[in-house]
């Protein structure tokens, strides 16, 4: 009974099910699902909220550790997230508030200006590296650049403490050393991740904008004066 066009259709054998012979046709046309996957989905839905939040926090924390010791690992790249950069950017912008407040226009960067510089700068650098032929995706680059601001945020916190404790020239020297060290660390950490994805004759073209970006952020931190 198998004609060629019947054979090409799935369940071709059932095409004559409607013939009311004494063939009981019953069955289950569902695909058997391995029970474990279904259990996992349900369990994530049922878990306590604390568990969900902690999972994300642990992922962010793990990435911070990877920035502190930049080895060639792909954790930052594989599971990118933008929580860490957002946290760092908000912290940095908040710490940069409160400087030189006697005249709005002559002072340091406003909160929105810090945000714009960090995010717009990251986006421009990402676009630049993609246009030059990089293989990282857009959000992976944003993730790397954002996480590597961490040393500079730490330096900002240290600078604020130093400004309270030590004043005058000595304080300035200490701040200069701290900011320079963290700027170097940030640039080194981010190029460790970014430069691998570029063709070798264009590495410097990609590293230079990153250098400029962290230099500008370092400048904003160094010139903060309460």
Partner 1 sequence: MSEAMASPKDLHFQEFEEAAELLSADPGASTLSMSANSPIVTVGAAAAREDVKLDVSEDEESSQLLEEQKPSGSFWTFEFYQSFFNVDTLQVLERVKGSVMPLPGRNFIKHYLRSNPDLYGPFWICMTLVFSVAISGNVSTFLHEMVNSSYHYKPQFHRVTIAAVAIFLYAWLVPVGLWAFLTWRQGAERLIRGYTFLETVCIYGYSLSIFIPTSILWILPFEWLQWTLIVVAMMISGSVLILTFWPVVRDDSKVMAVGTVMTIIVLHALLAIGCKLYFFQVAVPTSLPVITTAPTIYTNLTVKPH
Total residues contacting partner 1 by CB under 8 A comes to 31
Q: The tokens of 226 are what?
A: 């309460």
Q: Which two tokens mark 104?
A: 């709005």
Give the CA dihedral 33, 39, 40, 42, nearest 10 degrees.
Answer: 120
Would you count residue 102 as binding partner 1 (CB under 8 A)? yes
- Per CB under 8 A, the list member of 54, 94, 132, 176 interacting with partner 1 is 132
**Residues in region 63-92 near partner 1 by CB under 8 A:** none
* Beta carbon of residue 26, minimum distance to partner 1 (angstroms, whole number): 54
Selected from 86, 90, 99, 162, the binder of partner 1 by CB under 8 A is 99
Task: For residues 29 and 17, give the distance between their C-alpha atoms in angstroms, rounded to a whole number.
Answer: 14
Q: How far is CA 138 from the centre of its chain?
A: 10
Report in angstroms how near the CB of residue 191 gets to partner 1 at its nearest: 14
Shorter beta-carbon distance to partner 1: residue 61 or 199: 199
Cβ atoms of 144 and 190 closer than 8 Å? yes
CA of 172: how far to CAs of 15, 151, 159, 168, 177, in Å? Answer: 86, 19, 9, 6, 9
With CB under 8 A as the contact rule, which of the stretches 24-32, 84-92, 128-136, 151-159 interacts with partner 1? 128-136
DSSP output for 92-130: HHHHT-SSSTTSGGGSS--HHHHHHHHHHHHHHHHHHHH
Residue of the chain from 131, 165, 168, 169 that contacts partner 1 (CB under 8 A): 131
Greatest Cα pair distance, the chain, in angstroms, is: 101
Q: Give min distance, CB of 186 to partner 1, in A.
A: 17
Q: Which of 84, 108, 146, 151 binds partner 1 (CB under 8 A)?
A: 108
Tokens of 102: 């006697």
Joined tokens for residue 208: 């230079």
- For partner 1, the binding residues in 159-218 under the rule CB under 8 A are 201-205, 208-209, 212, 215-216
By beta-carbon proximity to partner 1, the closer residue of 63 and 191 is 191
Q: Pick the binder of partner 1 from 56, 79, 113, 180 (CB under 8 A).
A: 113
Residues near partner 1 (CB under 8 A)? 99-100, 102-103, 105-110, 113, 128, 130-133, 201-205, 208-209, 212, 215-216, 219-220, 223-225
């Amino acid at each position: 009974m198998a004609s060629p066009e019947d054979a090409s259709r799935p369940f071709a054998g059932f095409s004559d099910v409607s013939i009311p012979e004494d063939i009981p046709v019953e069955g289950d046309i569902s695909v058997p699902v391995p029970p474990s996957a279904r259990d996992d989905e349900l369990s994530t839905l049922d878990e306590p909220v604390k568990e969900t939040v902690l999972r994300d926090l642990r992922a962010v924390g793990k990435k911070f550790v990877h920035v502190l010791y930049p080895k060639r690992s792909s954790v930052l790249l594989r599971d990118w997230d933008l929580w860490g950069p957002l946290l760092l950017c908000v912290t940095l912008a908040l710490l940069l508030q409160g400087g030189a407040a006697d005249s709005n226009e002559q002072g340091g960067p406003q909160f929105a200006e810090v945000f714009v510089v960090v995010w717009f700068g990251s986006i421009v650098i990402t676009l630049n590296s993609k246009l030059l032929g990089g293989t990282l995706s857009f959000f992976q680059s944003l993730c790397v650049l954002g996480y590597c601001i961490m040393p500079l945020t730490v330096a900002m916190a240290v600078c604020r403490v130093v400004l309270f404790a030590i004043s005058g020239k000595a304080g300035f020297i200490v701040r200069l050393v701290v900011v320079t060290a963290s700027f170097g660390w940030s640039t080194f950490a981010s190029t460790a991740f970014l430069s691998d994805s570029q063709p070798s004759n264009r590495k410097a073209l990609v590293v230079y904008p990153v250098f400029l970006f962290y230099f500008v952020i370092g400048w904003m931190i160094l010139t903060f004066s309460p």
